[in-house]
Structure 1
Amino acid sequence: MFEDVAIYNRTVMTAEQLPYVVDEAIRQAYAHKGVAVVTIPKDLGWQDIEDTYVSTAVHYQKPLLPVLNPEHIDQALALLQAAKRPLIYIGLGTRGAREDIMALAKQLKAPILSSAPAKGIVPDDFELYMGSAGRVASKPGVEMLQQADTIITFGTDMPFQGHFIQDDTTYIQVDIDGTKFGRRHHVDLAILADAKQTIKALLEKGRELPETDWYRVALANKKKLLITWPLKMLSSKLM
């Protein structure tokens, strides 16, 4: 039930497991900056366990971030500025970068999609935010994901990329975890760096691009989405 939104999802099977599982959940939540879910069956609440466990999660230390390679910024900008249909896809790694994400989207004239857990990082009413894509998605969002010729992802390991992204799409992946590169889609440029730092660097070194048909379609899609989505929600409640 929680697999799509949790970075750690475990069910405690015995009362003795509980402190160990909770400790690991805290550790994973800190390390991956995400939601950790621990399911505790109600029958375990009446069982006694020894109060001898010492938590190790309290000693967690934030790892040093990879050093951003300036050449990667130049390469990414060259690909994005040459694109006819660029798209930005954000994940939880972009938390705290709201203003820079929106500024970068305006600079590149690129619509934004997010993973479901990252919904809310960019305001729902932002003119270039098409919502999330995947199991929970807007129709314009899915269509633009399929039509994009260049996609840059920030801090996300989207499990449905192979279903929605074309094989010949130019793909730029930014993540602090190098093991995620190429897991979901071939990568044309892998950038091992903090998503927020990379967004800021792209914004500072980039230039304002002219409006395109792709950009105007995104704006039109968003206006339509803001009108139709509340009506759909209302009709579903009335049924």
Structure 2
Amino acid sequence: MSSRSVAQTMLEQLSNFGVEFIFGVPGDATLSLMAALAKQDRIQFIATRHESAAAFMASAYAKSTGKLGVCTATSGPGLANLLNGLADAYSDYAPVLAITGQVPTHKIGTHSKQYVDQQRLVEATVSYTAMVASPKSTIQLLHRAVKTAISQRTVSHLSVPKDLWDQPFYEELVPSSSYLYDQPHPPTPKLDEAVPFLQNLKKPMILIGNGAGGCQEEIKKIASKLGAGVIYSLGAKGIVDEEFELLLGGIGEGGSEQSSETMQQADGLLIVGAMWYPKTFMPRDIPILQIEKEPAHLHLEKNLQSALIGDAREILESLEPKLSSLANDSWVLQIKEARQKWLEQLEMERNNAAVPISPAYVYRALETVIDPEAIIALDTGDHTVWFNRTFRMKKQDILFSGTWRTLGFAIPAANAAKLTYPNRQVVAVVGDGGFAMNMAELATIVRYRLDVKIILFNNHSFAMEKNKMEYAGLESFGNDLTNPNFKQLAESFGIAGYRISQPDQVDTMLDEAFQQQGPVLVEIMSSSEPTPLSKVKAVSTT
């Protein structure tokens, strides 16, 4: 039996497992892995300019495809820089594998440069970590790491000492990947408690999260039968179309006042695929029925009356025929009146042509130029809550840092999305704070010729933090940003740049930018005004 090196073995096995990309930055402890990557063509290596961007790309790839995202870095600081992206994947249940180099085996445990106990370093952001201490354990450990990441939708990590990469491996590979994604089917949910609970409600509401994806028709049918208002978390924006007459918008700082006000009067809540429960905007003692795929995501600390575990669409399809149309007309009327107030308020905000430029005014214009089926990579910041509040979704998909909520996510995520879905329009929406953290990834855009459109809100501040400090009666400190001319920065990378400083430029320049072939950055000199509900959250937490 002919041998292959440990590096070749891992790459061939990952390819058998269906891996398409490895995102990373080379380093001294992974040079042999880089050499092995260069000699094969089944996995494409994507070189980023920072390890955190590599981990963000792996996380975004996993979030958008449901498949395993893989990233790599060298020992010591290489792994340390991966941690932010790994934490994002871990927090959002995205299957990711990190492979890192380690110092040579004879230096492990010493004061050698770049040595750190990697298993201890990563333990808070992974569910499985191991070091390949012998070539013979390569496949066994890799298989376990991949299976853990996929089956538990989590992060796994393997470290490989520098002197092991080139050692020979003689064992057989695992030939197929299909079984890795086979999940045990949960028991058939019992609906005997759910149906009477829902039918007895006089003022029902429905909260949907990311786990409700693909359930639009079922949610609309059940909402109509029950006469329930529908509200959503950011991850569920667009799952139910914006024209649905019982939709009251988002919940939280980027939501509508009407969704929160109506929730306070409800007598029961159906939660579909939503891990997030914004307690500041929700009643404390409302009875809840939750539909959730993972038992670990149940809101046990809330007033949970019953839970249906399994695929949301399958459960809703079984539940809907069992429900009678018993809508409370006065409650439905109240929901529709609240919706009308919300829409009227949105129109005022979206047509506010003030200087500096309002994010709502930009999102109004963005709706007219963006593709209805685009992928939108959202960074974290003030622009995010404005997006949730004012942007009207069509069939777009959103990528964002849901639970970890890190800055710097959007550009790497957009790059991963464009690599994965080259025929779809990809738009990154970022603030100046988050963009500056990973602006070196403009080089990745150019290197791989990625047609990514970037909308950059420049208000020269960490606006959300600035506003919250002021609302809390604190002197704003440390929140002002010294920025370059981002338009010129983009152009220095070879990316088309636009700079918008007046409201009357927004429509024409956005239209022109989106007509461009290739990557474009549009810098918008925007206001730092908060959403109306941001003050509610800030005051309630002080």
C-alpha contact (below 8 Å) 1:93/1:196 kept by paired residues: no
Q: How far apart in 2 are the matches of 1:129 and 1:135?
A: 17
Residue 187 of structure 1 corresponds to 304
* Mapping 1:202-221, distance limit 5 Å: 202-221=319-338
User: Aligned letter for 2:344?
Assistant: I
Q: Secondary structure at the match of 2:304?
A: coil
Q: How far apart in 2 are the matches of 1:164 and 1:19?
A: 33
C-alpha contact (below 8 Å) 2:285/2:302 kept by paired residues: no
Residue 64 of structure 1 corresponds to 184
Gaps in structure 2 of 5+ consecutive residues: 1-23, 31-50, 79-99, 102-141, 151-175, 353-357, 362-502, 504-526, 528-542
Q: How far apart in 2 are the matches of 1:13 and 1:171?
A: 46
C-alpha contact (below 8 Å) 1:85/1:147 kept by paired residues: yes
Residue 107 of structure 1 corresponds to 225
* Mapping 1:1-239, distance limit 5 Å: 21=55, 25=59, 29=63, 56=146, 59=177, 60-70=180-190, 73-160=191-278, 162-182=279-299, 185-235=302-352, 236=358, 237=361
Once the two structures are superposed, what CA deviation does each residue of 1:169-220 show, in whole Å capped at 9, x if it has no partner?
1111110110111256231112212111121122111111143321110011
Query: Per-residue deviation at 1:26?
Result: 6.6
User: Aligned letter for 2:188?
Assistant: L
TM-score (norm 2): 0.35
User: Aligned letter for 1:194?
Assistant: D
Change (3 A) 1:113 1:106: same
TM-score (norm 1): 0.74
Query: Per-residue deviation at 1:77?
Result: 1.6
Query: Per-residue deviation at 1:19?
Result: 11
Aligned-residue CA RMSD (Å) = 3.6
Query: Per-residue deviation at 1:20?
Result: 8.4
Change (3 A) 1:170 1:14: farther
Gaps in structure 1 of 5+ consecutive residues: 1-11
Query: Per-residue deviation at 1:133?
Result: 0.3
Q: How far apart in 1 are the matches of 2:183 and 2:233?
A: 24
Q: How far apart in 2 are the matches of 1:193 and 1:139?
A: 32
Change (3 A) 1:86 1:14: farther
Moved more, 180-189 or 19-28: 19-28
Q: Secondary structure at the match of 2:255?
A: coil
Change (3 A) 1:180 1:214: same
**Structure 1 segments of 4 or more deviating over 3 A?**
12-24, 54-60, 236-239
Moved more, 179-188 or 78-87: 179-188
Q: Radius of gyration: which is bigger? A: 2
Change (3 A) 1:135 1:64: farther
Q: How far apart in 1 are the matches of 2:311 and 2:58?
A: 24
User: Aligned letter for 2:183?
Assistant: P
Query: Per-residue deviation at 1:116?
Result: 0.7
Report the identity percentage. 23
Query: Per-residue deviation at 1:123?
Result: 0.7
Q: How far apart in 1 are the matches of 2:53 and 2:269?
A: 42
C-alpha contact (below 8 Å) 1:157/1:184 kept by paired residues: no
